[in-house]
Amino acid sequence: MNVHVAPQSSTPFESGPAVVVSNLVRSYVSRVVIEKLNLRIDRGEFVALLGESGCGKTTLLRALAGLDPIQGGRIVAPRRPAVVFQEHRLLPWDNLWRNVALGLQVQDPRARAAEALTEVGLGDRLEDWPRNLSGGQAQRVALARALVQQPELLLLDEPFAALDALTRIRMHQLVRELVANHQPGVLLVTHDVDEAIALADRILVMRNGVIAFEHRAVRDGSTPISRAELLSELGVVPHSAS
Ligand SMILES: Nc1ncnc2c1ncn2[C@@H]1O[C@H](COP(=O)(O)OP(=O)(O)OP(=O)(O)O)[C@@H](O)[C@H]1O
Protein backbone atom coordinates (compact mmCIF):
# COMPACT_ATOMS: atom_id res chain seq x y z
CA MET A 1 0.00 0.00 0.00
CA ASN A 2 1.48 3.34 -1.03
CA VAL A 3 0.20 5.29 1.93
CA HIS A 4 1.74 6.70 5.02
CA VAL A 5 0.97 9.37 7.55
CA ALA A 6 3.50 12.15 7.51
CA PRO A 7 2.66 15.66 8.65
CA GLN A 8 5.75 16.96 6.87
CA SER A 9 8.34 15.40 4.62
CA SER A 10 10.72 16.19 1.80
CA THR A 11 9.43 15.75 -1.77
CA PRO A 12 11.03 14.34 -4.92
CA PHE A 13 10.75 17.68 -6.76
CA GLU A 14 14.13 19.28 -7.36
CA SER A 15 12.99 22.72 -8.43
CA GLY A 16 12.73 24.27 -4.98
CA PRO A 17 9.86 25.28 -2.76
CA ALA A 18 6.86 27.26 -3.95
CA VAL A 19 5.86 27.62 -0.31
CA VAL A 20 7.03 26.40 3.08
CA VAL A 21 4.64 26.55 6.01
CA SER A 22 5.98 25.99 9.53
CA ASN A 23 3.90 25.64 12.69
CA LEU A 24 1.05 27.66 11.23
CA VAL A 25 -1.66 28.71 13.66
CA ARG A 26 -4.89 30.29 12.45
CA SER A 27 -7.76 31.08 14.76
CA TYR A 28 -11.00 33.04 14.72
CA VAL A 29 -11.57 34.78 18.07
CA SER A 30 -11.46 31.83 20.49
CA ARG A 31 -11.71 28.99 17.91
CA VAL A 32 -8.40 27.52 16.73
CA VAL A 33 -8.90 26.18 13.20
CA ILE A 34 -5.29 25.44 12.21
CA GLU A 35 -2.96 24.14 14.86
CA LYS A 36 0.81 24.13 14.17
CA LEU A 37 0.47 22.92 10.59
CA ASN A 38 3.55 22.12 8.52
CA LEU A 39 3.56 21.87 4.74
CA ARG A 40 5.94 22.28 1.85
CA ILE A 41 4.90 22.43 -1.79
CA ASP A 42 7.56 22.41 -4.48
CA ARG A 43 7.41 24.13 -7.86
CA GLY A 44 5.85 21.80 -10.39
CA GLU A 45 4.18 19.74 -7.67
CA PHE A 46 0.39 19.30 -7.67
CA VAL A 47 -1.05 18.85 -4.19
CA ALA A 48 -4.74 18.16 -3.48
CA LEU A 49 -6.20 18.95 -0.08
CA LEU A 50 -9.27 17.07 1.14
CA GLY A 51 -11.03 17.01 4.48
CA GLU A 52 -14.51 17.08 5.89
CA SER A 53 -16.53 20.24 5.64
CA GLY A 54 -15.40 22.87 8.12
CA CYS A 55 -12.01 21.28 8.81
CA GLY A 56 -10.14 24.38 7.67
CA LYS A 57 -9.18 23.88 4.02
CA THR A 58 -10.28 27.30 2.82
CA THR A 59 -8.85 28.87 5.97
CA LEU A 60 -5.46 27.38 5.08
CA LEU A 61 -5.72 28.45 1.45
CA ARG A 62 -6.65 32.02 2.41
CA ALA A 63 -3.73 32.20 4.83
CA LEU A 64 -1.35 30.98 2.10
CA ALA A 65 -2.79 33.58 -0.28
CA GLY A 66 -2.03 36.29 2.26
CA LEU A 67 -5.73 37.20 2.41
CA ASP A 68 -6.02 36.66 6.18
CA PRO A 69 -3.68 37.26 9.11
CA ILE A 70 -2.09 34.31 10.89
CA GLN A 71 -1.71 33.94 14.65
CA GLY A 72 1.48 31.89 14.75
CA GLY A 73 4.18 30.20 12.69
CA ARG A 74 5.55 31.20 9.29
CA ILE A 75 4.58 31.07 5.64
CA VAL A 76 7.53 31.54 3.31
CA ALA A 77 6.77 31.93 -0.39
CA PRO A 78 9.19 33.41 -2.92
CA ARG A 79 6.40 35.25 -4.75
CA ARG A 80 2.82 36.28 -4.23
CA PRO A 81 0.57 33.28 -4.88
CA ALA A 82 -2.24 33.42 -7.45
CA VAL A 83 -5.72 32.20 -6.51
CA VAL A 84 -8.68 30.80 -8.45
CA PHE A 85 -11.91 30.51 -6.49
CA GLN A 86 -15.08 28.49 -7.07
CA GLU A 87 -16.71 31.55 -8.60
CA HIS A 88 -14.75 33.32 -11.35
CA ARG A 89 -14.69 36.80 -9.76
CA LEU A 90 -14.22 38.54 -13.12
CA LEU A 91 -14.96 42.26 -13.24
CA PRO A 92 -18.19 42.69 -15.27
CA TRP A 93 -17.25 46.14 -16.53
CA ASP A 94 -13.93 45.03 -18.08
CA ASN A 95 -13.51 42.95 -21.23
CA LEU A 96 -11.64 39.67 -21.08
CA TRP A 97 -8.15 40.88 -21.88
CA ARG A 98 -8.44 43.73 -19.36
CA ASN A 99 -9.64 41.28 -16.72
CA VAL A 100 -6.63 39.07 -17.36
CA ALA A 101 -4.17 41.98 -17.49
CA LEU A 102 -5.47 43.55 -14.28
CA GLY A 103 -2.50 44.58 -12.16
CA LEU A 104 0.09 43.39 -14.70
CA GLN A 105 3.14 45.63 -14.72
CA VAL A 106 4.46 44.88 -18.21
CA GLN A 107 5.05 46.93 -21.35
CA ASP A 108 2.34 45.38 -23.48
CA PRO A 109 -0.34 44.01 -21.15
CA ARG A 110 -2.76 43.30 -24.00
CA ALA A 111 -0.26 41.05 -25.76
CA ARG A 112 0.51 39.20 -22.53
CA ALA A 113 -3.19 38.76 -21.78
CA ALA A 114 -3.79 37.56 -25.35
CA GLU A 115 -1.10 34.91 -24.91
CA ALA A 116 -2.68 33.71 -21.67
CA LEU A 117 -6.20 33.67 -23.14
CA THR A 118 -4.93 31.74 -26.17
CA GLU A 119 -3.45 29.16 -23.81
CA VAL A 120 -6.88 28.54 -22.29
CA GLY A 121 -8.56 28.43 -25.71
CA LEU A 122 -10.10 31.91 -25.67
CA GLY A 123 -7.63 33.80 -27.84
CA ASP A 124 -10.47 34.92 -30.13
CA ARG A 125 -12.52 36.48 -27.32
CA LEU A 126 -10.17 39.28 -26.13
CA GLU A 127 -12.74 42.06 -26.48
CA ASP A 128 -15.70 40.00 -25.25
CA TRP A 129 -17.41 40.50 -21.87
CA PRO A 130 -17.64 38.21 -18.83
CA ARG A 131 -21.46 38.15 -19.09
CA ASN A 132 -21.22 36.37 -22.46
CA LEU A 133 -19.22 33.42 -21.08
CA SER A 134 -20.35 29.98 -19.95
CA GLY A 135 -19.30 28.84 -16.48
CA GLY A 136 -16.43 26.79 -17.88
CA GLN A 137 -15.21 29.64 -20.11
CA ALA A 138 -15.29 32.08 -17.18
CA GLN A 139 -13.18 29.68 -15.10
CA ARG A 140 -10.74 29.42 -18.01
CA VAL A 141 -10.39 33.22 -17.96
CA ALA A 142 -9.85 33.05 -14.19
CA LEU A 143 -7.06 30.51 -14.79
CA ALA A 144 -5.51 32.75 -17.46
CA ARG A 145 -5.66 35.71 -15.06
CA ALA A 146 -3.87 33.66 -12.40
CA LEU A 147 -1.18 32.23 -14.70
CA VAL A 148 -0.38 35.50 -16.46
CA GLN A 149 1.20 36.57 -13.16
CA GLN A 150 3.65 33.67 -13.53
CA PRO A 151 3.02 32.53 -9.95
CA GLU A 152 5.27 30.03 -8.24
CA LEU A 153 2.28 28.93 -6.16
CA LEU A 154 -1.20 28.52 -7.63
CA LEU A 155 -4.03 28.14 -5.12
CA LEU A 156 -7.22 26.55 -6.42
CA ASP A 157 -10.26 26.67 -4.10
CA GLU A 158 -12.74 24.20 -5.60
CA PRO A 159 -12.50 25.92 -8.99
CA PHE A 160 -14.38 23.15 -10.84
CA ALA A 161 -17.09 22.41 -8.25
CA ALA A 162 -19.81 24.41 -9.99
CA LEU A 163 -19.15 22.99 -13.46
CA ASP A 164 -20.97 20.12 -15.15
CA ALA A 165 -19.19 16.76 -15.24
CA LEU A 166 -18.00 16.97 -18.85
CA THR A 167 -16.72 20.53 -18.52
CA ARG A 168 -14.97 19.50 -15.31
CA ILE A 169 -13.11 16.70 -17.09
CA ARG A 170 -12.05 19.13 -19.85
CA MET A 171 -10.87 21.59 -17.20
CA HIS A 172 -8.82 18.84 -15.57
CA GLN A 173 -7.03 18.22 -18.86
CA LEU A 174 -6.43 21.94 -19.35
CA VAL A 175 -5.12 22.45 -15.83
CA ARG A 176 -2.79 19.50 -16.19
CA GLU A 177 -1.36 21.03 -19.40
CA LEU A 178 -1.07 24.52 -17.89
CA VAL A 179 0.71 23.23 -14.80
CA ALA A 180 3.08 21.14 -16.95
CA ASN A 181 3.90 24.22 -19.05
CA HIS A 182 4.24 26.77 -16.24
CA GLN A 183 5.42 24.53 -13.38
CA PRO A 184 3.88 26.37 -10.45
CA GLY A 185 3.36 24.51 -7.21
CA VAL A 186 -0.37 23.88 -6.90
CA LEU A 187 -2.62 23.50 -3.88
CA LEU A 188 -6.07 22.34 -4.95
CA VAL A 189 -8.81 22.35 -2.31
CA THR A 190 -11.49 19.91 -3.40
CA HIS A 191 -14.28 17.67 -2.12
CA ASP A 192 -13.96 15.42 -5.14
CA VAL A 193 -11.83 12.35 -4.40
CA ASP A 194 -11.74 11.38 -8.08
CA GLU A 195 -10.46 14.84 -8.98
CA ALA A 196 -7.76 14.55 -6.34
CA ILE A 197 -6.71 11.10 -7.58
CA ALA A 198 -6.74 12.22 -11.23
CA LEU A 199 -4.74 15.40 -10.78
CA ALA A 200 -2.51 15.30 -7.74
CA ASP A 201 1.07 14.21 -7.18
CA ARG A 202 0.29 14.26 -3.49
CA ILE A 203 -3.03 14.02 -1.65
CA LEU A 204 -3.41 15.47 1.82
CA VAL A 205 -6.27 14.99 4.24
CA MET A 206 -6.76 17.64 6.89
CA ARG A 207 -8.21 16.76 10.30
CA ASN A 208 -8.28 18.68 13.56
CA GLY A 209 -6.28 21.54 12.13
CA VAL A 210 -3.32 19.53 10.85
CA ILE A 211 -2.39 17.34 7.88
CA ALA A 212 -3.42 13.94 9.23
CA PHE A 213 -2.88 11.81 6.13
CA GLU A 214 -0.60 12.07 3.12
CA HIS A 215 -0.47 9.96 -0.02
CA ARG A 216 2.15 10.41 -2.69
CA ALA A 217 0.90 9.34 -6.09
CA VAL A 218 3.04 6.99 -8.05
CA ARG A 219 2.83 7.81 -11.74
CA ASP A 220 5.00 4.96 -13.01
CA GLY A 221 2.34 2.27 -13.29
CA SER A 222 2.28 1.10 -9.68
CA THR A 223 -1.03 0.94 -7.85
CA PRO A 224 -2.46 4.38 -7.06
CA ILE A 225 -4.52 5.01 -3.96
CA SER A 226 -8.03 3.62 -4.34
CA ARG A 227 -11.15 5.69 -4.09
CA ALA A 228 -12.37 3.51 -1.20
CA GLU A 229 -9.13 3.95 0.70
CA LEU A 230 -9.27 7.72 0.33
CA LEU A 231 -12.95 7.85 1.26
CA SER A 232 -12.22 5.86 4.39
CA GLU A 233 -9.51 8.41 5.33
CA LEU A 234 -12.26 11.00 4.98
CA GLY A 235 -14.47 9.03 7.35
CA VAL A 236 -16.82 7.87 4.60
CA VAL A 237 -17.66 4.17 4.17
CA PRO A 238 -18.50 3.57 0.48
CA HIS A 239 -21.75 1.65 -0.21
CA SER A 240 -19.91 -1.24 -1.83
CA ALA A 241 -17.83 -1.74 1.33
CA SER A 242 -20.74 -1.63 3.74
N1 LIG B 1 -14.70 34.46 9.33
C2 LIG B 1 -14.85 33.45 10.20
N3 LIG B 1 -15.14 33.69 11.50
C4 LIG B 1 -15.28 32.68 12.39
N5 LIG B 1 -15.13 31.38 12.07
C6 LIG B 1 -14.83 31.08 10.80
C7 LIG B 1 -14.69 32.10 9.79
N8 LIG B 1 -14.38 31.50 8.61
C9 LIG B 1 -14.35 30.17 8.86
N10 LIG B 1 -14.62 29.92 10.17
C11 LIG B 1 -14.67 28.60 10.82
O12 LIG B 1 -13.44 27.95 10.58
C13 LIG B 1 -13.65 26.57 10.37
C14 LIG B 1 -13.01 26.16 9.04
O15 LIG B 1 -13.71 26.78 7.96
P16 LIG B 1 -13.24 26.58 6.45
O17 LIG B 1 -14.12 27.40 5.60
O18 LIG B 1 -11.78 26.79 6.37
O19 LIG B 1 -13.54 25.02 6.26
P20 LIG B 1 -13.46 24.15 4.93
O21 LIG B 1 -12.70 22.92 5.29
O22 LIG B 1 -12.95 24.95 3.80
O23 LIG B 1 -15.00 23.79 4.75
P24 LIG B 1 -15.85 23.47 3.41
O25 LIG B 1 -15.28 22.20 2.88
O26 LIG B 1 -17.24 23.29 3.93
O27 LIG B 1 -15.69 24.62 2.48
C28 LIG B 1 -15.15 26.34 10.43
O29 LIG B 1 -15.47 25.85 11.71
C30 LIG B 1 -15.74 27.71 10.22
O31 LIG B 1 -16.95 27.86 10.92
For residues 186 and 69, membership in a common domain is answered with yes
Domain presence at residue 228:
yes
The domain total for the chain is 2
* Whether residue 51 has its Cβ less than 6 Å from ligand 1: yes
**Domain endpoint, select from 107, 129, 150:** 150
Domain presence at residue 89:
no
For residues 56 and 45, membership in a common domain is answered with yes
Q: Return the pLDDT at 4.
A: 30
* Whether residue 59 has its Cβ less than 6 Å from ligand 1: yes
Q: Atom 28, ligand 1: which residue's CA is nearest?
A: 54
Q: List, for the chain, all residue ranges whose pLDDT scores fall below the cut of 50.
A: 1-11, 241-242
ipTM score assigned to the predicted complex: 0.96
- DSSP H helices, the chain, are 57-64, 96-101, 109-119, 135-147, 165-182, 193-199, 227-233
Q: Return the pLDDT at 2.
A: 28
**Cα–Cα distance between 16 and 42 in angstroms, integer?**
6
60 alpha carbon – ligand 1 mean position (Å): 10
* Whether residue 221 has its Cβ less than 6 Å from ligand 1: no
Domain hosting 198: range is 1-81+152-242
* Whether residue 64 has its Cβ less than 6 Å from ligand 1: no
Render pLDDT for 86-125 as a digit per residue (tens, 0 to 9).
999 999 999 999 999 998 989 999 999 999 999 999 999 9
For residues 48 and 121, membership in a common domain is answered with no
Q: Return the pLDDT at 223.
A: 66
Q: Return the pLDDT at 7.
A: 38
22 alpha carbon – ligand 1 mean position (Å): 21
* Whether residue 33 has its Cβ less than 6 Å from ligand 1: yes
Q: Return the pLDDT at 237.
A: 75
